[in-house]
Amino acid sequence: MLSLKEKDRPIVRKLLCAGCCARCVLRFCCVGTSSAYRRSYQDLRKELLAFISEESSPQSLSEEKTDAPPNKRMRIDEDPVTPAQTDSDICPVCLGVLQDFCDPTFTKQVSDAVKKQQYEFDSLVLTVSLPTQMSVREHSCWLHVKKEVREKSMCLGKEDVIQVKDAFKWAVQGKIGQELGAAVVANCPCEVSVGFIHPETEDCHFLANTCPDCFKPTKNKASIFTRMAVVKALEKISEEKFSRHYVCPPKTANTRCTALDTTCLHTSIFIAGRYSKFSRELPQTPWVIDGERRMHGSVEELIAAPLLSSFRADGFNFSSSGREDVDVRTLGNGQPFAVELLNPHRAKFNRNEIKQLQEKINQSSDKIRVRDLQIITREATSRMKEGEEKKTKTYSAFIWTQKAIDSTDLEFLANIKDLRIAQKTPLRVLHRRPLAVRQRLIHSMSTIYLDKHHFTLKLCTQAGTYIKEFVHGDFGRTIPNLCDLMKTDADILELDVESVDVDWPPALPD
């Protein structure tokens, strides 16, 4: 039995006379029991017709007295509801969504579409998109019902009406979940989207004239009649002005809604780890100059390819705590990195499977090695960038000097602590970095004498320091520089990153 009361009888009658479908009648009677919407459409309609044909029994009148004072009891409208008034093919409010798309045939169609996309999940959230003009028809029907209840000294707030989206979800989500073997919940990484469109858009046009400030063209929108704009206009327009421009109840539509293709989307999965790079001919990201690819492969591609394949993701975004040059090796514990996997079709991996995935990456190339691979949250990725200016990096540089030197010429460098330098954006990266002067610290330096023109320089610096430019000066753009300190021209022949001193991601046991 439907949870309808005596006071609902004239509303049911009025809505059926207006051609509303059975589920829309329940919505405007504020029936919030989800099981009512799961019943077959034929059973609902049959029970509503029986409900309005009943005489007001003493029992029903007694129930009404408990709900409201006697002066608020609504008079029962005795006008009959004729088949011509109730058997409209298309509901003028939901445009057929709650009539034609809540049956097992459509839920099977949705479930089959999801299965075809081969996602792996044990729960999902169902989202629904509706034609914008449905908001106008909903508003019109609400004013129509509101007039009826106002005459009976009752009130019906728009927020009291069950939304079409909610009614549709209540009707179908249980069946969809059963077909897919998954729980349908309110919040979940895996989203199944069902959408509807309707060709008749003229319902919204009068709002552009009555509330022009709500409708402003935007570059990214094909139409000014967006859902937000229409809702804003409906909140602004007065009931009297709305009724002058739009009929209440809404007129019958000529066509039904059409269902769009069912789509699935899984929220991104984030993978973190550290990589070491052993090649001086491997860029961190694909190297493209003037539209032409230079060098084969990159660190991000070597790491991402196995991840994309295993998670069956549509794409990825790669980020790291720093960006070493193509000819710079990254040694020690490696460079922290994070990979965002877009729309993964598989999301659950245990620790052993992630470890096997790490080995797969390491076996794919001898140019890199990955460690501490793990799944993290989106929020955890921010820790990689936290304290960007405060973290330190340790480097080892192979230096050439124009002037002949001996070991005593290098001793003074070890005594320099926290040397502050000013670095203009290097010429070699000026095409992709804004021109600026950056203050950086060289915390400490030590040296290993090799021969009269070569030595190894070890540096501990503030992250973000351009080491090559500190050595050769970059035509005076880095001040002071090693050339200034040693009073000779110098250049860097090889550079290695020996450590990145950031405690992220958490180290894992081997």
Amino acid at 5: K
CB contact at 8 A, 442 and 415: no
- SS3 of 199-213: the string is CCCHHHHHHHHHCHH
Token pair for residue 510?
């081997």
Query: Residue 173 burial (CB < 10 Å; 0-12/13-18/19+)?
Result: buried
| Catalytic residue, candidates 325, 327, 484, 491 | 325
Q: What are phi and psi of 64, to 5 degrees?
A: -65, -35
Query: What is the chain's Cα-based Rg?
Result: 35
Dist. CA 461–CA 398, nearest whole Å: 16
What 8-state DSSP symbol labels residue 169? H
Dist. CA 290–CA 157, nearest whole Å: 61
Dist. CA 152–CA 146, nearest whole Å: 10
CB contact at 8 A, 183 and 177: yes
CB contact at 8 A, 171 and 31: no
Residue 325 annotated among the catalytic residues of the structure: yes
The CA-CA-CA angle for residues 40, 53, 86, to 5°, reads 55
Token pair for residue 398?
């192979």
Task: Kindly list the catalytic residues.
Answer: 325
